Amino acid sequence: MRGKFLTVEGIDGAGKSTHIGFVTQFLQARGKTVVSSREPGGTPLGEKLRELLLHEKMHLETEALLMFASRREHMAQVIEPALAAGSWVLSDRFTDASFAYQSGGRGMDRSKMEALEAWVHPQLQPDLTLLFDVPLEVARERLDATRTLDKFEREQGEFFARCRAEYLRRAEQFPQRFVVIDSTRSIAQTQQTIGEALEKLL
């Protein structure tokens, strides 16, 4: 039986990475084989593209195209084979992030993004997308407290406001696969909500 495809999304600092291990363990405890991966990245070529994407300045459409180049490779090498083998795939970001960051944040024409999505994965969509949602100030505080910032994380508040709005728009457009999680709550409360969403899928 084909596995399920799960994605986690949210603006930088929303708390996404904090919960990836929990999702994996929750599914493994219920007998699923979980392949955990990320975008941009997830393959040797994708990780090289990630280096460029996170540190080099480039035209916004170059950025979008490289995100989809990484995604195409990720699908071919990791996502499709794993799903076909019956594994569950958990990807830290997927195409919703391109809509949020390149269309919402940077302002790339949404119809071009839709064309890329239709070209690169006309059939594939996540079975479940966990969107970690927090106000910008909370995300910023969490980021500043933790790490050296990459190209995206150094963007201003208005950029993340547009990313967040685009994520929420996607969630409204695809309510059957999105679960929007209030990530201002405690880690334990957040994990409770994640567990409920996963149980529904199992």
Q: Which residues are near ligand ADP by CB under 6 A?
A: 10, 12-18, 132, 142, 146, 183, 186-187, 190
Rule CB under 6 A: is residue 18 a binding residue for ligand TYD? no
**Residue 52: CB atoms within 10 Å:** 15
Helix 60-74, helix 110-120: angle, nearest 10: 20
SS3 content of the chain, % helix, strand, coil (to 5): 55, 15, 30
Q: Of 87 and 103, which CB lies nearer to ligand TYD in the complex structure?
A: 103
The H or E element spanning position 10 is none
Q: Identify the residue whose tokens are 């040797």.
A: 44
**In contact, 37 and 78? CB cutoff 8 Å:** yes
Q: Judged by CB, which is closer to ligand TYD: 7, or 87?
A: 7
Nearer to ligand ADP, 3 or 41 (CB): 41
* Residue of 3, 4, 7, 12 interacting with ligand TYD (CB under 6 A): 12
Return the range that interacts with ligand TYD (CB under 6 A); candidates 78-86, 91-99, 169-177, 180-188. 91-99
If the CB atoms of residues 148 and 186 are measured against ligand ADP, the closer one turns out to be 186
Give the nearer residue to ligand ADP in terms of CB position, either 72 or 142.
142
**DSSP code string of 54-109:** HH----HHHHHHHHHHHHHHHIIIIIHHHHHTT-EEEEE--HHHHIIIIIIIT---
Rule CB under 6 A: is residue 92 a binding residue for ligand TYD?
yes
Q: By rule CB under 6 A, what string of x and - marks binding of each residue 23-42 to ligand TYD?
A: ---------------xxx--
Query: How many whole angstroms separate alpha carbon 133 and alpha carbon 109?
Result: 24
Residues that bind ligand TYD (CB under 6 A): 12, 17, 38-40, 67, 92-93, 97-98, 101-102, 150, 152
